[in-house]
Homo-oligomer: A and B are copies of this chain.
């Protein structure tokens, strides 16, 4: 119904997560009818980002710099390293605000079916850091999924082999969550991981 180029644009916009045919059409009309300056800026910024954004040479998070701002921040605790699956996980932990160490981003998890092995997750680089940095603790914050757990297990063993103490962030009922609405898997995990109310005795 629209011209070929507009149909191309609507199709291209559908690559965005959460954007179906109706919103892609609304977006295309908005950009072409109401805000071509913003559309041009988006096109140029996107092209530049696709071209320039790579990975931090130390933590592998997404950045156009050789070393990201977090790795470059000398106030971050060099004794603590937190392993996460994605750059968005780094943001989530930073927003929580109580972790002050450094990060390592896997960009995924071990998934033999999809051909994702240790090399794809930068485990070599992680091992170098385990060997060369004054790490006292490796905190594993992969997702509590089957693949995330397998990845955690794999990394934990590598760290232990190098004498670095390893921990896993806690999983269970979210603070403020109501038991009634928590899924069974989470609840079962919360029971299995229960801690003593009076640890001393």
Chain A: residues with CB nearer than 8 A to chain B?
Answer: 1-6, 8-9, 12-13, 15-18, 23, 25-33, 35-36, 38-50, 52-53, 62-65, 68-69, 86-88, 90-91, 94-95, 107
Residues of B within 8 A of A12 (CB): 38, 41-42, 45-46
Query: Out of B3, B16, B94, which one reaches A64, CB within 8 Å?
Result: B3
A interface: dominant SS: helix
Copies of this protein chain in the complex: 2
Question: Are B64 and A29 in contact (CB-based, < 8 A)?
Answer: no
- How many Å from the CB of A22 to the closest CB on chain B? 10
Specify which of A4, A41, A87 lies most central, judged by the most chain B CB atoms within 10 Å of its CB. A87
Question: Are B6 and A63 in contact (CB-based, < 8 A)?
Answer: yes
Question: Are B46 and A94 in contact (CB-based, < 8 A)?
Answer: no
- How many Å from the CB of A41 to the closest CB on chain B? 5
Residues of B within 8 A of A62 (CB): 2-3, 6, 29, 32-33
Question: Are B68 and A3 in contact (CB-based, < 8 A)?
Answer: yes
Query: Out of B8, B65, B69, which one reaches A45, CB within 8 Å?
Result: B8
Residues of B within 8 A of A32 (CB): 49-50, 53, 62
Known A-B contacts A31-B46, A50-B43; the reply to A94 vs B1 at CB < 8 A is yes
